[in-house]
Structure 1
Amino acid sequence: METLIGDLLYWANDLKPWQQDALRRLFARGELKAADLNELVAMVKEAHGDGPPSSIPPDPLAANHIPGAGSGNSVQLVSLSELTNVNAFPDGRALSFEPSGLTVLFGENGAGKSGYARVLKNACRARRREPVQSNAFTGGAGHAQIPSAKIQVLVDGNAKEVSWVQGGNPDADLGNVSVYDSACARDYIEMEGEPGFQPYGLGHLNRLVAAQREMHRILTDEQNAIELNPAIFQPLKGGTAVGALVENPGAGTNIVELRRLATMSEADLQRIDFLEGALRELNPEPKARALDALADRLGLAAERASSALRYVTDAATAKLKGLHQSKRDADAAYELAQRQLHGGDQDGVQDKLLLGTGNAVWQTLYKAAEAFSVEYAYVGHAFPHTSSGAKCVLCQAELGPDARSRMERFATFVAGQAGAHAIGTNQTLVEALGKIRDADLEPLDKPTLEELAGSLPSLHALVLDTVAAWNARRTWLLDSSERDDWSRPEPIIPTGDPLDLQLRNAKAKLKEEASTLRKSVDPKERGKLQDELRELKARESLRGLLPAIEQFVLGSVKREALSRCLAALNTQGISTKMTALAKKHVTTALAVAMNEELSALGYKRKVRPTLDGKTSDGKTKMTLQIEGTKTDAHRVLSEGEQRAMALALFLAEVSFQGHHSTVIFDDPSTSLDHRHRRRMAQRLVALACERQVLIFTHDAVFLSEIDMALKKSGASATYKSIGWGDAAPGHVEEGLTWETKNCSMRLMEIEGVAKAIKTTAGDYPSEGDAQRIAEAYSKVRGTIERAIREEFLSNTIQPFSDAVSVESFGIVVGHPQDEVDSLMDIYDRACEATFAHDTPAERQLPLPDAEQLISDINLTLELVRKAAARRRAYQTQRGERTKARKKAFAGA
């Protein structure tokens, strides 16, 4: 069978993730707090407004999030145990239930009944849930005390244990357990005091609509807070590139291009000044010629700067350092050759050569001797000729061994060229230093420099700085070279484009300006210059307004993003779905079932449930109307009657479930609906014949109505009392409290006490035994009074009830006199034994013993059973007479 929840879940799959998350929260908690709305707004912005990722990602709605959308199995509760951190309960409290029929759990206010009920509401996912609180008087701030419990259930007859922790994942089977309480009653009332037909699930769509409208309000406020002033664009509009970009300012404005146009160089700003001046000139030729002349001088200066720069560059420094290193290497080689030249004999005795041997003059002498030897003296022999008998070509004395050795060393020295190389490297270094020293580092003459200061001040400053740096570098080079010490910091040459390039650029700019001046006299060219000036002026204006424009565009982008979010929050689709769901599931059968339940609850007015057929403010509803009047139902019905309708609709929905799981009622009856207590009790007893029913109540009058309904139906129930034990609430006792027990239950309890007294008392009861006997007789006395009302008078009149059971009056007459006398004897004995009456000491009667007490209890039980038998026989006879009357009427 298709269900509303099933259709809703299927439809929800097509919703946006944030809508599914909102529905999940609504089914879990029944309402959305401010924190929920803020988190959902963040999800909407992420999905539709290009917002950042939300801190909590959407958690889509699933079947296990929905009470009543569980497994589809029939589930019965068996017990609730191991309660921990639940209200002021001591850990370990437990409560058991009969898996079938009716279990009544009675407890006064503050006894702990609500603690058990709240756990079940949270675990079974009641429509409206309040978090289970831990003990408010234990645990410090920040001390986590999370309520938990074990829940034993039967799922289609199979045992299962569920570990429940508040805030944990829900159990699908427990979702089949239906819960009715005052919050559930409100869920059937669309607006306070106004009854509405809201099958479970439609109410959550109502709340989703309300939530989306609240989010719409939040985003609208945020959007309205974004102030946009389009007037800031007015000065920029016109026939320029800037004007075209700001013609229709908004989210689509090209802010990147605007930023590019607003970025202006110093040259752009100078161009504005130049164009303004050029367009003011009446005779531009003289100025153009002056610009041409200055440009030509700058061109020559650029060549000089290029020439000068090569003497002070880092490359020049490296080259000079290399020349010094070459000189040092050549000098070292020369010194080595000199040592070899002056070397001694094999015994290490050095020759004493003349001073200057090996120098340039000596080498000239050597070369002359060589020429004379090979050309004249020893033609055909290499120089030096040192064979035996050879003579020195200068002194013409025969060469001895020492002389021959010296000549050979001379030849080796001259052939090695060490001296020549040393002389050459030194000469190269001297020439390089001379070029650096003599270099012209002043590319501009004084008049041109002065003119430059007026026309191009930035270039003038660059020239001065660069020339100063060049001179500092040259001084450092010369000093370091002279000292051959390069450890001092090297002066820095200005970075960026070299001076010669900047001078050439300045020359080109001046030439262009001269050309522009000449063009300005041509009307067509003048128009182009005016257009260029307008473009540059527009960019200059944009430059000052750019921060405000960026803020406007970013604000427009945000407003547009928020508009998309607002469009996504439109509730029309949800309202349409609500109407469709209502038409499909708020059926005539459900309306009939509700009317049947209303009749069963004793509701006497005539109501005609009709479907409004439209969605108003996101709500599709079946409105209860009173026949014969156009007045709204909520203006006619009392609050108690409205609660009766809510219960009737709840029971109608339960009847349409596809399973027979437990139904829990938490204080279903209040003073608001006291007129419907009896029928309500009878209906819940009848429901307990179909499935397990749990009733939590503190209403003793309602309890008596349940007892009467049970007796009338012949059904039975399990009673439990919840109260204080061990100085803490939540203590559970089997059965009812003394005040709520019927006469038979009371007598059996007293009999147990009497037997215990008999076991412990001797022939002469102690003071304590006497006290206990007297207390027992006091209870016997009250029990006889209850037995008279319940059995002998057959509940013809009930305390706190406005009904008189006329049909039961027939049993009042006909009780045997001997039974009445016996009952009165016991009653008199109980009155004499009770301490409720003060008796003078001289008239004190002996207190009955335990055996007498037991005898009186047994006799009272026997008399009550006989009265009950007569009541049942009378009811049988009355039923037969009723059938006979109906049969006779039918035959007529």
Structure 2
Amino acid sequence: MVVSRAPTVWQALDAWGKQLSPWQQFVIAQATSKGRLRDDEIGKAYRLFLSAFDLAEAPAENLAAPVVSPRSADDECKPLCLVRVDGLVGVNALPDGSLLTFDPKLTVIYGRNGAGKSGFARLFANACFSRHKPKIVPNIYANGGTTDLAASFHVQLDGESSDLARVYGELGKLLANAILSRGHTTRFSDSFIGQETNVAKLVATIGPRTDMAAVRKLAIYGEAEKARLREMDSHATALKASSRQELVENLKQAKKDIIALITKLDALVSEFSPEKRAFRTALSKTARECTAAAAAVGTETFKRPFFKAVGTPDWEVFAKAAHALARKESDLHPGPDDRCILCERPLDIHSQAHITALLTFVEGEAQRAAQAATKAVENEIGALKTLEVNIFAPDSLVRAHVNRLDPNLATAIDLAAVSIAALRDSSVAVLAAHDPVQGSVNCADVNSALHALVEWIGSDLERLTKENAATAIASLELERQTLRHREALSKLLSGIETYVADALWCAKAERAKSALNPRHITDKEKEVFGQIVGPSYRARPAQECGDMECDMPIELQTTGQKGKTVRSLLLKGGDRPEIILSEGEQKAVALADFLTEVSMNPSNAGVVLDDPVTSQERKGLIAKRLVREAQSRQVIVFTHVWAAA
């Protein structure tokens, strides 16, 4: 028969922890393996927490750890022995330098009231785990000011109980401080005075949800915006001086010239489109292939062992020259009585046949195809050379218009024109060599900017020609104000970006706060206590009460509070012990509960009790129980009962 064992507390924690986030797993691993987390370990947990909620980059260091460190029975029961406490300073009325030494098992410190037992007991309650931590004050009868409290505990093996809720609280403090440090009181709207513009409206709503792409777009303020502002100033001056007609004529001319520039640019772009590149490459390929085919025909037909240059370009030139000269003599050359046009000697029948074949070759299909393909390439080269690429000359009127209205656009057009000219020259060179044509030109951005400039001029003309002076001036003032606000925004952009980033971080951090609620720890501790610890715990107090002859109908109740399971003992029927039991019985029941709690955790290395006995009749029973407890862990007792014995 297979006997199944109930899971241990560590196994339950391990199974639970694997369902949690890495930062929670790290906290549990450190708490269960080391007890209490150090400040640097809390810092590591905090960095993991921030990473989990996209509040920081993942930590560079390796923080991986098992959820619950394996514990053997020997590890859990390894004793912690308190050797002595000394170096006391400012602890109640105890003389400075007082000390106590302790036995590894049982130590009883007894004496009359006022001997100093409670002073040491308060010291232990503050230094060790205790349900109550009484305040330690210096000797009220001593002269002089207050003294910093001090005491030294000498132990053979160190250890502290873990406190997950405390760690959550510390993480919460770190997060709260980080949120506080990212808070801003800057009022960006104060920098946007005058008329309300779309820029001012956007800045007024700056927050964690702000579209920073829209802000950055409005924050652009460069040479183009400065030029526009100058243009608006000139418009306002003309309107106020009632001299708008000259300004209107200038704008009309600028619009006309810029539209003409767009037309020229479009024509050039079409000349260097991918389709045109493919067309020119095809021309080069055809010319190269036809020329090669014609050369191959000539070589195969007229190749002789005593000539080396047959079929070469020089030979082709010679053949064409001979053909042209022969046709000058006669369309039927060479006839029966004709002489050689080179050596002037009479031609025999074989020489006549050779010259006839040579002239036929020049007039043949291969040569005609090569000549046609070459002519097509030459025509294309000629067309490229006649292209007007200097469309934005330094002394041109259109350049003056664009440079005045948008200097940045003028620079972009210059670059485009240079690129087109270079592409034209390279295309001519590769066509002449019958090589593939490379490269194309894309002026979409320049073209778009030019069209926008035309629209801009059109809106200006609309304002100047169709609106009355007052309306036009008001419209100009709004646009000028918008430009001024964009200038202000460009200077504030860095601060706004920081503000929005911090606001977004804080908003995410506020949402992450809920993860630091220790409620799930409380629920898990209550669950573990109920499933694993509770059954044994409920049985043990009755046994402890029996050992001290205080057999009472005690019932155990548990509630969760701040990551801990809080127990309460009630008598059967729901009454609290202090309502029914005597002081001695209450003391015995409380001691039974305390010893039960201690026994449930093998890592509890020792206990310190302050006056555990108030009833003389149970003195012996309690003494025997504490002696028995001293066999498994160190026991230290402060009491006056032994002094009376």
* Category of TM-score, reference length = shorter chain: 0.5 to 0.7
Question: Counterpart amino acid of 1:33?
Answer: R
Aligned partner (choices 236, 249, 253) of residue 293 of structure 1:
253
Q: 1:19 to 1:329 in 2, by over 3 A?
A: closer
Give the Cα separation in 2 of the matches to 1:301 and 1:555.
Answer: 48
Question: How many angstroms does 1:43 deviate by?
Answer: 5.1
Q: 1:653 to 1:184 in 2, by over 3 A?
A: farther
Question: How many angstroms does 1:556 deviate by?
Answer: 1.6
Q: 1:320 to 1:298 in 2, by over 3 A?
A: farther
Counterpart contact for 2:591–2:612, Cα < 8 Å: no
Q: 1:414 to 1:548 in 2, by over 3 A?
A: same
Equivalent position SS for 2:187: helix
Aligned partner (choices 621, 624, 627) of residue 682 of structure 1:
624
2:361 aligns to what?
Answer: 416
| Mapping 1:316-335, distance limit 5 Å | none
Equivalent position SS for 1:191: coil
Counterpart contact for 1:301–1:443, Cα < 8 Å: yes
Aligned partner (choices 366, 371, 377) of residue 330 of structure 2:
366
Give the Cα separation in 2 of the matches to 1:509 and 1:23.
Answer: 66
Q: Deviations over 1:138-171 (max 9, x none)?
A: xxxxxxxxxxxxxxxxxxxxxxxxxxxxxxxxxx
Give the Cα separation in 2 of the matches to 1:357 and 1:577.
Answer: 106
Question: Counterpart amino acid of 2:245?
Answer: E
| Mapping 1:180-259, distance limit 5 Å | 186-187=128-129, 189-191=131-133, 207-235=163-191, 240-259=197-216
Q: 1:694 to 1:321 in 2, by over 3 A?
A: same
Question: How many angstroms does 1:424 deviate by?
Answer: 7.7
Count of residue pairs the alignment pairs up: 513
Q: 1:618 to 1:540 in 2, by over 3 A?
A: farther
Task: Give the greater-gyration-radius structure (CA).
Answer: 1
Aligned partner (choices 75, 79, 86) of residue 122 of structure 1:
75
Asked if 1:557 corresponds to 2:504, the answer is: yes
Counterpart contact for 2:605–2:633, Cα < 8 Å: yes
Counterpart contact for 1:593–1:652, Cα < 8 Å: no
Identity among equivalent pairs (%): 15
Equivalent position SS for 1:224: helix
1:547 aligns to what?
Answer: 494
Higher relative contact order (CA 8 A, sep 6+): 2
Structure 1: segments with no counterpart, 5+ residues:
66-118, 131-181, 195-202, 345-354, 371-383, 395-400, 601-607, 700-800, 805-892
Question: How many angstroms does 1:290 deviate by?
Answer: 1.6
Give the Cα separation in 1 of the matches to 2:561 and 2:289.
Answer: 102
Give the Cα separation in 1 of the matches to 2:559 and 2:578.
Answer: 19
Give the Cα separation in 1 of the matches to 2:559 and 2:409.
Answer: 86
Q: Deviations over 1:433-480 (max 9, x none)?
A: 7777777665467462674586355566567677778888889999x7
Give the Cα separation in 2 of the matches to 1:511 and 1:669.
Answer: 93
2:42 aligns to what?
Answer: 37
Question: How many angstroms does 1:53 deviate by?
Answer: 5.6
| Mapping 1:693-772, distance limit 5 Å | 694=631
Give the Cα separation in 2 of the matches to 1:526 and 1:260.
Answer: 26
Report which stretch shifted further, 454-463 or 672-681: 672-681
Question: Counterpart amino acid of 2:188?
Answer: I
Q: Deviations over 1:34-53 (max 9, x none)?
A: 24433443454456675556
Question: How many angstroms does 1:33 deviate by?
Answer: 2.5
Question: Counterpart amino acid of 1:551?
Answer: T
Question: Counterpart amino acid of 2:404?
Answer: S
Counterpart contact for 1:32–1:211, Cα < 8 Å: yes
Counterpart contact for 1:337–1:413, Cα < 8 Å: no
Q: Deviations over 1:583-635 (max 9, x none)?
A: x99999988877776679xxxxxxx9999999799895779x9999xxxx9xx
TM-score calculated relative to the size of structure 2 = 0.53
Question: How many angstroms does 1:363 deviate by?
Answer: 0.8
Q: 1:474 to 1:599 in 2, by over 3 A?
A: closer
Give the Cα separation in 1 of the matches to 2:284 and 2:54.
Answer: 67
| Mapping 1:799-810, distance limit 5 Å | none
Asked if 1:281 corresponds to 2:238, the answer is: yes
Give the Cα separation in 2 of the matches to 1:549 and 1:57.
Answer: 38
| Mapping 1:112-151, distance limit 5 Å | 122-124=75-77
Counterpart contact for 2:518–2:562, Cα < 8 Å: no
2:404 aligns to what?
Answer: 455
Equivalent position SS for 1:281: helix
Q: 1:579 to 1:454 in 2, by over 3 A?
A: closer
| Mapping 1:653-692, distance limit 5 Å | 682-683=624-625
Give the Cα separation in 2 of the matches to 1:610 and 1:327.
Answer: 106
Report which stretch shifted further, 668-677 or 16-25: 668-677
Structure 2: segments with no counterpart, 5+ residues:
1-5, 83-123, 137-159, 308-318, 340-345, 570-575, 637-641
Equivalent position SS for 1:251: coil
Give the Cα separation in 1 of the matches to 2:74 and 2:125.
Answer: 11
1:88 aligns to what?
Answer: none
Give the Cα separation in 2 of the matches to 1:38 and 1:300.
Answer: 67
Q: Deviations over 1:205-244 (max 9, x none)?
A: 9x44444333332322222222313412443598554444
Two-structure CA RMSD over aligned residues (Å): 7.0
Q: 1:31 to 1:645 in 2, by over 3 A?
A: farther
Question: How many angstroms does 1:287 deviate by?
Answer: 1.5
| Mapping 1:316-715, distance limit 5 Å | 358-367=322-331, 404-409=349-354, 411-418=356-363, 442-443=390-391, 446=395, 448=397, 451-452=400-401, 455=404, 457=407, 496=443, 510-511=457-458, 513-519=460-466, 521=468, 537-570=484-517, 648-652=592-596, 682-683=624-625, 694=631
Question: Counterpart amino acid of 1:552?
Answer: Y
Question: Counterpart amino acid of 1:296?
Answer: K
Q: 1:466 to 1:520 in 2, by over 3 A?
A: same
Give the Cα separation in 2 of the matches to 1:228 and 1:57.
Answer: 36
Counterpart contact for 1:49–1:564, Cα < 8 Å: no
